[in-house]
Amino acid sequence: MRIIVLSAFLAIAAPSAAHQVEVAQGDIGRWTGGDAVACEFEGKRRDAIAGDCYYPIDFARAPGTYPIARITAQGRQQGALTVSAVDFPEQPIDLPEDMMHYVLPGPAELARIRRESAQITPLFHRHSGAAQFTLPLAAPHDPLPTGKGFGYKRIFNGHPKAAHTGLDYGIGEGQPVNAVADGEVVLTGDHFFTGQAVYVNHGDRLVSEYFHLSEITVTPGQKVKQGELLGKVGGTGRSTGPHLHFGLRWHGMRIDPARMLGDPSALPQVD
């Protein structure tokens, strides 16, 4: 009798085979319907966006199958999201001798990196209210060239370093960089690796990042509208030349920004 009861419980708790989706590391799964009021990933609840559920998957999330749910006024649907592995390419980069402190930081640089990390990391885990955005997001620059480098395993002067968590856009020095959605500027600064940087919180724990700027035109606490000027393209920090590094963290997940700039119907869809 105990075995029968346990089996029945497991059948109820397990994700329904009728609702499944496969999502690559760094991508976003989508469960449509237009009437969702909330969503769940691994039992953690989050708001729906315009009635649909989105499941951002960190680029380092372990491959496997995870429970998801879609909640409407009529009830709850269970599903399963399978994360597939991506073999991100290696990218060798050789910095000149006068930039070797970015490859092998000394004690003073390491202390600075720790201080800056202590400011930045909490931004991605802060509850930030309802979403102030819908998808797709606006481009951070118009026209926006093709971005490169998301997830690349970077090797500086023969030394493996952290993988690249955003996209690099070849945009000229001094060109405008704009907010991709309404939000609040939560941090600006001249940081060791990222140079002059701006972080904007858009609600629903979505934070956009704009790095290597030559100029910053906003201040922390400032409310911005989609398309509003945040700064100008530069080559500050660990950069070999002027370009825009644009990144997104959604629910703490490091995701390919191009997926939120494009048509959401192109995202992997739950059956």
CATH code of the domain in which 174 resides: 2.70.70.10
Specify whether 172 is located in the same domain as 233: yes
Examine residue 145 and state whether it is found in any structural domain, yes or no. yes
What would the two tokens of residue 155 be?
Answer: 């090797």
Specify whether 70 is located in the same domain as 114: no
The answer to whether residue 254 scores a pLDDT higher than 80 is yes
Examine residue 154 and state whether it is found in any structural domain, yes or no. yes
* 12-23 burial code (b ≥16 CB/10 A, e <16): eeebeeebbbeb
What integer pLDDT is reported at residue 11 of this predicted model?
32
Examine residue 72 and state whether it is found in any structural domain, yes or no. yes
What integer pLDDT is reported at residue 13 of this predicted model?
41
pLDDT tens track for 126-182: 888 999 999 999 999 999 999 999 999 999 999 999 999 999 999 999 999 999 999
The answer to whether residue 7 scores a pLDDT higher than 60 is no
The answer to whether residues 224 and 183 touch, using CB atoms and an 8 Å cutoff, is yes
Cα three-residue angle 36-55-154, rounded to 5 degrees: 160
pLDDT tens track for 14-70: 444 589 999 999 999 999 999 999 999 999 999 999 999 999 999 999 999 999 999
Examine residue 180 and state whether it is found in any structural domain, yes or no. yes
Domains held by the chain: number: 2
Specify whether 254 is located in the same domain as 122: yes
Specify whether 38 is located in the same domain as 111: no
In terms of pLDDT, which residue wins out, 83 or 14? 83
The answer to whether residue 1 scores a pLDDT higher than 60 is no
pLDDT tens track for 194-249: 999 999 999 999 999 999 999 999 999 999 999 999 999 999 999 999 999 999 99
Report the relative pairing of strands 253-255 and 244-250 from DSSP bridges: antiparallel
Specify whether 68 is located in the same domain as 94: no
Structural domain harbouring 50: 2-86
The answer to whether residues 30 and 53 touch, using CB atoms and an 8 Å cutoff, is yes
Specify whether 154 is located in the same domain as 100: yes
Domain end residue (candidates: 66, 86, 106): 86
